[in-house]
A and B are shown apart, each in its own frame.
Chain A
Amino acid sequence: MMGGTPRTVGRMPVGTRLALMVVAEMLLVLGVRSLPAAALATGLVTGAYLIARIPLAHAWRTLRGVVFIAALVATLQLVVLPWERALLIAVVMILAVAIAALVTLTTSTTDLLDALERALQPMRPLGVDPERVALTIALTARTIPVIAGFGSRLRDSGRARGGRVGVVPYAVGLVVLTLQHAERVGEALRARGVDD
């Protein structure tokens, strides 16, 4: 997914990475309560991005959404809060996303999926079947382009009739095509013995 991203966080196992992420998030949310602490945390997170050699453009593309929202929130908070509080809230908000996003930026989707499947193994006694979960997730990823194709077909046929398709007819068509597709896929899965 994230094509040209260097994945050079040593060869730290994905599980370790995720555990570190959780610890870092907890330290951030529970421990960073002053501007000096926030400055230290910002330094550490920036250092981690540098060590992972995340290109600035990638980091920005991942974080610009939260930066925008944090700036908006901080500006609104200035009315009711001292500027130090408003700034602290904004910085913690951005760092929380930055820490979690670092895992995504340095770990392939495949590795994360494998980690997810492994994490589900202990839930077998609760009725969770990790292989079926993995199959459903893989099936969903392959179905997205199919459904998106249905969507453009509906829009095209609307244009061909000389108008734009309204939201409701568009969504009704999309749901009906989706349900019919699911029925065919369900039959194909049953034919391949997925229920056995």
Chain B
Amino acid sequence: MLRTETEAGSRRPPETPRSTSTDLALIASFAALIAVLGIVPPIAVGLPVPITLQTMGVMLAGLILGPRRGALAVVVLLALVAVGLPLLSGGRGGLGVFAGPSAGYLVGFVLGAYVTGWVREHLETRLPFPLAAFTAAVVGGIGAVYLVGIPVLVWRTGADPVAGLVFLPGDLIKAVLATLVAVGVRRALPDR
């Protein structure tokens, strides 16, 4: 078991400091995927911040592309948002979102994708894949995102840090979904 995991890992092209054209295409495609997961709202509630699968997209970027390419996919998405495209959940975009109370979560997405990928890489030889993926999604996609998001939220709104935890139940569901999706993708594309 351990052995096959390692072999599966080594079949993946090693991450080089300079992105190859495959990396470039993966980064661009995943950035687009995260955008689509935020635009198409499967769960619409009547709030200005709708519940979408965008956070799950951030977790998946780390789980599937690995730390470096996953984080870069998020950076590219944020660059497009910064130049004015309305690609964040609920059709938000422009420089304004980087000055808003939830700006920290956007920066946290970059760190979150990186940590998710890093934790998965370090756990998957030691734990069954679903457990490694779920742990990675929780530590990176929730822990690392909140680590940046909540202090900024508190600074900008004067709110109690506990207020930042209102998204926790939803985010835990998304970590479960991201794990199930990563398992499904692995089953569909075993050589990836």
Binding site for B on A (CB under 8 A): 1-2, 21, 25, 62-66, 68-69, 73, 76-77, 81, 85, 89, 93, 96-101, 103-105, 107-109, 112-113, 116, 127, 129, 132-133, 135-137, 139-141, 143-144, 146-148, 151, 167-172, 174-176, 178-179, 181-183, 185-186, 189-190, 194-195
Give Cα distance in the complex from A64 to B22, angstroms.
Answer: 40
- Please name 25 pairs of A and B residues whose Cβ atoms are closer than 8 Å in the assembled complex, sorted by A: A1-B86, A62-B96, A64-B48, A69-B100, A77-B159, A85-B158, A96-B99, A97-B97, A97-B100, A100-B98, A100-B99, A116-B82, A133-B79, A140-B27, A140-B28, A140-B29, A143-B31, A148-B39, A174-B36, A175-B33, A176-B185, A179-B189, A186-B24, A194-B24, A195-B21
Assuming the contacts A73-B101, A101-B94, A172-B181, asked whether A190 and B22 have C-beta atoms less than 8 A apart, the reply is yes
- A189 near B185 with CB under 8 A, answer no
Q: How far is the CB of B18 from chain A (nearest CB, A)?
A: 7
**In the complex, A112 Cα to B180 Cα: how many Å?**
38
Is chain A's binding surface mostly helix, strand, loop or mixed?
A: helix
What is the size, in residues, of chain B's interface with A at 8 Å between Cβ atoms? 62
Chain A residues with Cβ under 8 A from B80's Cβ? 137, 140-141
CA distance in complex: A151, B60 (Å): 16
Known: A97-B99, A181-B29. 11 other contacts (CB 8 A): A62-B94, A65-B100, A66-B100, A69-B100, A73-B159, A85-B158, A93-B100, A104-B95, A137-B76, A137-B79, A167-B42
A132 with B95: CB separation less than 8 A = no
Q: Tell me, rounded to whole Å, the shortest Cβ–Cβ distance linking B62 to chain A.
A: 13
